[in-house]
Structure 1
Amino acid sequence: MKTLFTYLLLSFMLTAYAQNVPTNSPTQTIRGTLVDAVSRTPLPGVSVVISKSNPLIGTTTNGDGRFRLTNVPVGRVGLTISLVGYQELVLSDVLVNAGKETVLELPLTESLQQLAELAVTYKRAEDRTVANNELAVVSARPFNAAETNRYAGSLGDPSRMAANFAGVSGANDARNDIVVRGNSPASLLWRMEGVNIPNPNHFGALGTSGGPVSMLNANLLAKSDFLTGAFPAEYANALGSVFDLKLRKGNDEKREFLGQMAFNGLELGAEGPFRKKSESAGSRSSYLINYRYSLFGLLKNVGYQIAGTPEYQDGLFKTDLAIGSKGNLSIWALGGQSRITFLGKDIKADKPDAYGDENTNTRVNYSVGAGAIAYEHRFTNRTLGKLTFSGSRSTQHFEGDTVIYQSTGVIAKEIPSAKNDFTQEKLSLNAGLTHKLSAKDKLSGGLIIDLLRYDLQGQALYPSVITRRNTDGETALVQAFGQWQHRFSEQLTLSSGLSVLHLALNGSTAVEPRAGLSYRMSPTSSLNLAYGLHSMMQPILTYFYQTRQANGSYALTNKDLGFTRSHHLVASYDRMLTPTLRLKMEAYYQWLFNAPVERTPSYYSALTEGVSFAPTNKANLVNNGTGRNYGVELTVEQFFNRNYYFLVTASVFNSLYTGSDDIERNTPFNNRYVVNLLTGKEWQIGAKNNVLLVNWKMTTADGRFTTPINMAMSAETRSEVGDYSRAFSQQQSAYFRLDTKLGFRMNRARSTHEFAIDLQNLTNHQNVFQQAYNPRTNQIGTAYQQGFLPVPYYRLTF
């Protein structure tokens, strides 16, 4: 491994120098495809012009909707795209690098007013103001790979990037779980290419949505959507938020390569056509493949090791094959595995750790894989169908020891205390059909059938043996949905839908109406209102927690739990103050009900799940809990223009729940306020359009609420016991973090080099992670979140 690591580094360096051919003005190609936003029909005759180019650089699309602009100087350019009868699209921030062609696939929306020589348009300052999903009229924020890589502190992770959006707060620095409008991180739905996927993070767990390191690769993402409430009917089995991820297609004309070394690991990538360049639409095909290995794992293999060294690897593959002129076959697969060990002897009592505990040994192995084969067919210029077969598998293996110390502080024993082996598999069928009746009306519908298989084994071994889970079996989750969008005029649009969920495990059924209304007050401003009834099944581990009965037998007292449900109402005002400056305000109210709580009066509610990494072991649960989240959000965003951008988001909210004791309490996710300030600037240096980059981010939020520790009971039992009569009543100090990212992009004739360093928590501010009871010292220790951490980054494309 040491030899391989050295070889890869030398290969990157030699490639960099070999590609360093002198040139006065590196250029690159911009090309792509333009399609109708609803039917995905290619649009011929579309005008594509580089804004303010002199001499003019422009072209029109051919019969397949494809265009090509050659000899475009590297750097940032703007594109103006127009066609009679369609709304004009203005892109102000298209990055052109020497090392990679810029390939775009963009949808255009048909205008209601069909004029012979004039297109009635509303100019969009970058298509980031409009989500991929046209039925999402509120609480939808599109994003792209450039934003994921640009923001300071994001580490190329979509979840950490989304934590900067209004209504979102990061759960903690150690993981990328996100809290949306006070909802548990476990209420998030991950979707990739239209398929619901398991938690795509290393060191994740069943029933959670995050982890310390993402398996998702920003280099492979196309424009995607992040939705935070009242989302369209096609999204089900989610309460709080949705990541709707799209993968870009590989270059179908030219082979290109990527090498990257960053926090997430050492990465190698390739893409290109399966066969030589062809202008025939029916013969176009491409592949895209990336592999990544833990940087810390590599360092361990060459002799450098830290306590709890994380070892992981992941890969992603995608291929797109044109089937005739109207079909496309897509195959993709994502997979990763990770393992880590924390030993109590490596943790010091006077320096508590965010992950480990001196009184325990922890060994974790986690793996996840998902893949799909999808066929999309354009039956007519108004009708599009898609059929997808997919599968996924998640495994989680955990072993824990209790560490017993002598009075001298020397370890006396290490006693096995717990063991879990969890496996969940899924086979899915997704079928969908979209039909455009006219420029005014669009219909869509679909069916999703998930066949679930589970094998759940879990035991507590010390101080006594308790079998918590011992089951395997199969069940199914079925979703059917229909959606209708009607445009009364250019100003007024109605989006509506209905979704039905059925869980075969216990016969639970949920019917979910959705509706949204958008009124465009002027070409630059709109008022929007949306309502949704949402439902979510419980994590599979919850249904199969078994309770020991008086006769010594076990019973599954949670198996009949129904869906947790919520009403969500959102109102928003959206205004483009200038062509590149956006103001958005939203207010929302969410009423949650049917949340699992204990049958006897207690503080507990499933709405508080997701605050810890381990599954909660609660029995005798019933759907009687409630909760409410409400707040207001502000976004002021300057899209990248004239070599700078800024983003200001502010959220003021309240997040409350009621357990079976009928006492309303703060949820552990109730930050009350979150403020993010981000900005960045680029300076062009030299004739080759090399670029110096500076990005800056400041985040502050109110402290979260925790449960006080009952010191007397903890000392008596020699383990932490919370004062649950005052659950979530103790507030931590406010959170503050400042990040700065410095970078340099160097263009050569056929390659682009990017160097950066991400200076995280620049002020080394001590933000509380958690407080925990230590039975050896009989004291409460405080673990702090990440201190100052410089993270280097290098990327080569050629």
Structure 2
Amino acid sequence: MRLFATIVILVLFNSFVLAQGNLLDKKITLAINNNSLEQVLTELIAQSGTRFTYGNTIDLKQKININFSELTFKEALNKVFDPLEIKWELIGDQIALAPGKKLSFKISGNLKDSANKSPIEFATVYLKGENYHAYTDFNGRFYFDHIPPGKYVLVINAFGYKLSERLIEITDQPVSVPLELSQQAIILSETIVTADKIIEKVSVSEMELKQVQIESVKGITNDPMKSLTALPGVLTKTDLYGSSEIHVRGGESSENLFLVDNIKLPLPFHFSGQSVFNPEMLEKAEVLTGGYAANYGNAMSSVFNLTTKNGNAERWSGNVDLNTSNPSYLIQGPLKKNKLSVIVGLRSIFSVLSPIEKKADLTSKFTYTLNYKTKINLTTLNVNDYSDTSFQKILPKANALSKMNAQNFQVQSIISDKSYSKTSFLHSGWRLNIDPEKYGYRHINYNSYALREDLTFYPKPTTKFKTGFEVSLEDEKSDIVEFYKTTDIYQTDTTSLIQRRKVNTINVISSAYAIYDATIFKRIKVNAGLRIDHNQLGNILDLSPRVTMGYDLTSSTLLSATWGSFNQAPTTYQLIQNKNLSSNHSEHTIVSIKQKITPLISGRVEGYYKKYTNLVIFDTAFAYSNNGYGYSKGIELFLMKETGRVNGWISYSIAKSDKKRSLQDKVYPYYFDQRQSLNIILSVTAKEKNRKRFLPFLYTFDFRYATGEPYTPITGVDSVAGKYQFTTGSINSARNPDYNTLNIKFQWHDRAIGKKKKHMMLFYLNFWNIYGHSNLAERSYRIDPITGSVSVTNSYRKFFDLNIGLKICFNYYNPPKK
């Protein structure tokens, strides 16, 4: 009996399979022109004799164009449904349809104060453990798009309110979440985040890059300034190693303020032009290219504020990055778990790879949590540079040594439930010795010791008062030979005005500021401040008022404008030569429109005008005076996608800058007046599903373009007293060729390696100037002493370079214990 039943079941099953096979082998012909999916299903039913089942997730009204003849039913189904991303399955005598791609929905919400029911703006909202972040607008609204079904923890973090977590579940429809938060005293974690942020709510000309964005565009030379010079308004002579000359909106390279954990660095670059900042050590970089608030001064163009990471307070980890250009090493971990942590990063260049230059920088940070109200940080930076070109024939023969060291001992503490302070004890030192064979020498020994206090008070979450002071003692001993020329081109066989300057003095510089930052009348934001600076050596007192106003046109559009006064004191040597000098002065007028296009995509259009007066120059009377002046104006566009599988930014600037500079009799085009610049930074992460292991996981594209800077043309040669001299055209009246380059990075990685799957290894290739474009670096002229003819030598930047690297991260993952 059992045998008979088994045979019957097998026969029935075989008949069922054969029936399905016969059904799928039927021949189908379709000719559909701009008709609905519903009509297509009707035709398929008529020709196959089967039925279709589906839910309301299938759009029957979508239009289809399809034409084929004598295909099997299986081939016909694939032909129809594959382009529509619809899955099909034969079940019995019917075809079941389902969406081929995962459904996604929207999460939205409205955040209010539980006491007065007013909207809470600028709150951070994110899904815990997921890559979805948003900020509430002035009505307290937020939303996320394209969220797949599932359970999530929604986290809401607003300054001055209790942290809130809400469990939500998405099934088959969008979710709307009404939320209310209760006010509470400031907690330490919020203090640390807010105290180190210089970008105010209504700042203009501001950009912030997180560590991931910095890492993606650091280039062959492992330099975060490569990322920052791709931002609008920031220009440099972009070479393989970069350039220490960074010009922001027509400003001199000396007009920028560089900070790392609040430490002012006088010249944060190696000899090669590579910055001393280690990208592995950075948490974020804030860049303000104009109109910044009153808490920072003595800089007329910009503030570059780089914040280092705290060490891992729970477990030890680290990485080794071995490559053919700039190997680096990092270690971090708890000296006392959840109490005292340390992080140390080292970058270096081996002499085998760079026989001309040996360089290294070591950055460290200790973080100690004294209690829930007090945290102590100690940041140190040590830089060593040595260059010897005496053995080669290309560069001028010289020996050069540079040593830099900087420290910041900082105490962050909560004073009351609505105020906190940040006290910093700062030091930066720099020793430089350059002894060339035939050009001017430089001997510098500089030290700065400073005390800075910042106090912040929140009477309510939408209003902030901030005040502070800084007193610094600057000790400079220097002996320098300088060259002054009317132009910025390198001319040989000509004499320039040579001046030797010696300094041995101590100067005291003090400053104080006050800022009011608030949201008023719901849509209006204001940031107003006053700064006072005093220079003891020149007895100079500067007042710098600044104000920024913003208006929310819509919940995603902000119109803002700023006006500010910015002063920068003369150098110590200039004041020694002329104690009647006043500070260099500029005024910034900026109008900005910011648009939040999606939660992850934002854009900005900004116009600016900078007026320069009282610029300290070495004038035609061969003395320092305040006779320099000029202007800079421009329009900038900036579009950024912060995170996601495809992310990056596009920046475009059109600008013009004219100035009267040293030994010039009137205003001429500024020597770094690049009229247009375009930067496109794009990072693409490959989909893990079905990715072949030999294909890269991450692709980064870095395109830079800028029109040529001006130069002074040589028009001929005159003979004066038996000596040949150049004759020139108008100063900076000609233009160099345009600059452009494309850099590409490919990166492969394994998600986890090692017995316990705690480590990660990645391999990468960096291609610099991949299509080998010839970019002009320098033009020099020489007169033949016999014939009097002029020869021109053009030097070009390196055509192409490749960096190969292997990075191993230890204890990168922390798998849960079984």
TM above 0.5, yes or no, is yes
CA gap 1:77/1:460 in 2 versus in 1, 3 angstroms: closer
Q: Alignment partner for residue 654 of structure 1, among 656, 672, 684?
A: 656
Q: Which residue in the other structure is 1:187 paired with? A: 255
Correspondence 1:501 to 2:505: no
Change (3 A) 1:163 1:87: same
Q: CA deviation at 1:285?
A: 1.8
Larger Rg: 2
Distance (whole Å) between structure 1 residues aligned to residue 527 and residue 692 of structure 2: 45
Match of 1:175 among 242, 248, 251: 242
8 Å CA contact 1:135–1:232 kept in 2: the answer is no
AA matched with 1:772: S
Q: Separation in 1 of the partners of 2:238 and 2:145?
A: 35
Q: Residue 152 of structure 1: CA displacement?
A: 7.0
State the match for 1:744 in structure 2: 748
Distance 1:727 1:478 in 2: 39
Instruction: Give the letter aligned to residue 726 of structure 1.
Output: S
Q: How far is the alpha carbon of 1:712 from its aligned partner?
A: 2.5
Q: 1:725 to 1:425 in 2, by over 3 A?
A: farther
Alignment partner for residue 245 of structure 1, among 306, 309, 318?
A: 306
Equivalent-residue separation in structure 2 for 1:597 and 1:425 (angstroms): 25
1:324 is aligned to: 371
Shift of residue 683 of structure 1? 1.0
* Whole-angstrom CA distance in 1 between matches of 2:643 and 2:126: 16
Task: Determine if the alignment matches structure 1 residue 379 to structure 2 residue 415.
Answer: yes
Match of 2:267 among 199, 202, 215: 199
The one of 330, 333, 342 equivalent to 1:269 is 330
Q: CA deviation at 1:745?
A: 2.3
TM-score of the superposed pair, with normalisation by structure 2: 0.71
For 1:702-721, list aligned pairs within 5 A. Answer: 702-709=707-714, 712=717
The letter of the residue matching 1:780 is V
Q: What's the TM-score, normalizing by structure 1?
A: 0.73
Q: Secondary structure at the match of 1:578?
A: coil
State the Cα distance separating 1:489 from its structure 2 match. Answer: 3.7
Q: Does 1:685 align with 2:719?
A: no
- In the TM superposition, residue 418 of structure 1 has moved relative to its aligned partner by 3.7
Question: Aligned-pair distance for 1:168?
Answer: 1.9
1:637 aligned partner: 640
8 Å contact 1:375–1:387 — kept in the other structure?
yes
Could you tell me which residue of structure 2 aligns to residue 562 of structure 1? 582
- Over the aligned positions, Cα root-mean-square deviation in angstroms equals 3.7
2:430 aligned with 1:394 = yes
Deviation at 1:727, TM superposition (A): 1.8
Q: Does the Cα contact within 8 Å between 1:167 and 1:633 map onto a contact in 2?
A: yes
Hey, what's the Cα distance between the residues in 1 that align with 2:462 and 2:537? 41
How far 1:794 moved relative to its partner?
Answer: 2.6
Structure 2: how far apart are the matches of 1:768 and 1:380?
58
How much does 1:482 deviate?
0.6
Q: 2:623 aligns with which of 617, 620, 624?
A: 620
Structure 1 CA distance for aligned equivalents of residues 627 and 482 of structure 2: 29
Specify whether residues 91 and 390 from structure 1 end up closer, same or farther in structure 2 by C-alpha distance, changes over 3 A only.
farther
- Per-residue deviation, residues 10-29 of structure 1 (Å, max 9, x unmatched): xxxxxxxxxxxxxxxxxxxx
Rate the CA distance shift 1:325–1:457 in 2: closer, same or farther, 3 A: same
Measure how far apart 1:687 and its partner are: 8.9
Matches of 2:673 and 2:335, distance apart in 1? 51
Shift of 1:292: 2.2
The Cα offsets for residues 17-47 of structure 1, whole Å up to 9 and x where unpaired, read as: xxxxxxxxxxxxxxxxxxxxxxxxxxxxxx9
Structure 1 partner of 2:489: none
Q: 1:763 aligns with which of 743, 762, 771?
A: 771
Aligned counterpart in structure 1 of residue 668 of structure 2, from 648, 660, 665: 665
Report the Cα offset of residue 464 of structure 1.
13
Report the secondary structure of 1:249's partner residue.
Answer: coil
The alpha carbon displacement at 1:253 in A equals 0.7
> Are 1:782 and 2:794 an aligned pair?
yes
Q: Whole-Å Cα distance in 2 between the matches of residues 782 and 321 of structure 1?
A: 54
CA gap 1:154/1:434 in 2 versus in 1, 3 angstroms: farther
- Aligned mates of 1:712, 1:392 — CA distance in 2: 48
Structure 1's 469 and 529: CA in aligned 2 closer, same or farther, altered over 3 A? Answer: same
Match in the other structure for 1:531: 563
Alignment correspondent of 2:289: 228
Matches within 5 A, 1:587-626: 587-600=607-620, 619-626=622-629
Following TM superposition, by how much is the alpha carbon of 1:744 offset from its aligned partner in structure 2, in angstroms?
Answer: 1.2
Give 1:26's aligned residue.
Answer: none
**Distance between the aligned counterparts of 1:755 and 1:371, measured in 2?**
34
- SS in structure 2 opposite 1:385? strand
Q: Alignment partner for residue 699 of structure 2, among 691, 694, 697?
A: 694
**Contact 1:159 / 1:178 at 8 angstroms: preserved in 2?**
no
Asked if the contact 2:125/2:157 (under 8 Å) is kept, the reply is no
- Give the alignment partner of residue 144 of structure 1, picking from 180, 201, 210: 210
Of structures 1 and 2, the one scoring higher in RCO (CA 8 A, sep 6+) is 1
Cα gap change, 1:746 to 1:757, in 2 (>3 Å):
same
CA separation of 1:83 and 1:534: change in aligned 2, threshold 3 A: closer
Specify every segment of 5 or more residues in structure 1 that has no aligned partner in the other structure, as ranges: 1-46, 52-57, 59-68, 70-75, 94-104, 122-126, 204-210, 279-283, 348-355, 403-416, 544-555, 602-618
1:440 is aligned, of 462, 487, 491, to 462
Kindly indicate whether residue 338 of structure 2 is the aligned counterpart of residue 286 of structure 1.
no
Which whole-Å deviations, capped at 9, do the CAs of 1:579-603 have from their partners, x for residues lacking one? Answer: 22222100000001100234437xx
Paired position in structure 2 for 1:310: 357
1:160 aligns with 2:164: no
Relative distance call for 1:557 and 1:718 in structure 2 (3 A) is farther
Pairwise CA distance, 1:223: 2.3
CA contact under 8 A between 1:154 and 1:161: conserved in structure 2?
A: no
Distance 1:89 1:456, change over 3 A: farther
Alignment partners' CA distance in 2, 1:400 and 1:715: 30
Question: 1:717 and 1:646 mapped to 2: Cα distance?
Answer: 60
Q: Is 1:735 matched with 2:739? A: yes
Which residues of structure 2 form unaligned runs of 5+? Answer: 1-122, 148-154, 165-176, 183-192, 484-492, 811-818
CA distance in 2 between partners of 1:106 and 1:156 (Å): 35
Conserved 8 A contact 1:392-1:427:
yes
SS at match of 1:265: coil
* 8 Å CA contact 1:149, 1:155 repeated in 2: no
| C-alpha contact (below 8 Å) 1:190/1:196 kept by paired residues | yes
Separation in structure 2 between the aligned mates of residue 517 and residue 429 of structure 1, nearest angstrom: 31
Q: What amino acid does structure 1 have at the position aligned with 2:369?
A: A
SS at match of 1:175: coil
Structure 1 position 139, deviation (Å) = 0.3
Distance change in 2, residues 1:199/1:421 (3 Å): same
SS at match of 1:165: coil
CA contact (8 A) 2:290 2:302 kept: yes
* Equivalent position SS for 1:232: coil
- Partner Cα separation in structure 1 for residue 226 and residue 691 of structure 2: 33
Displacement, 1:645?
Answer: 1.8
- Aligned counterparts of 1:652 and 1:539: Cα–Cα separation in 2: 31
Shift in Å at residue 117 of structure 1?
Answer: 5.9
Q: Percent identity?
A: 18
1:709: Cα distance to partner? Answer: 3.8
Match of 1:426? 448
CA drift at 1:147:
1.1
Contact 1:485 1:495 in 2 (8 A): yes
SS in 2 for 1:149: helix
> Is the Cα contact below 8 Å between 2:125 and 2:156 reproduced in 1?
no
1:581 to 601, 604, 611: 601
1:155 CA drift (Å):
4.1
The answer on whether the counterparts of 1:382 and 1:436 sit within 8 Å (CA) in structure 2 is yes
1:471 — aligned with what? 503
Q: Which amino acid aligns with 2:795?
A: A
Q: Using the TM superposition, give the Cα deviation of residue 132 of structure 1 relative to its aligned residue in structure 2, in angstroms.
A: 5.1
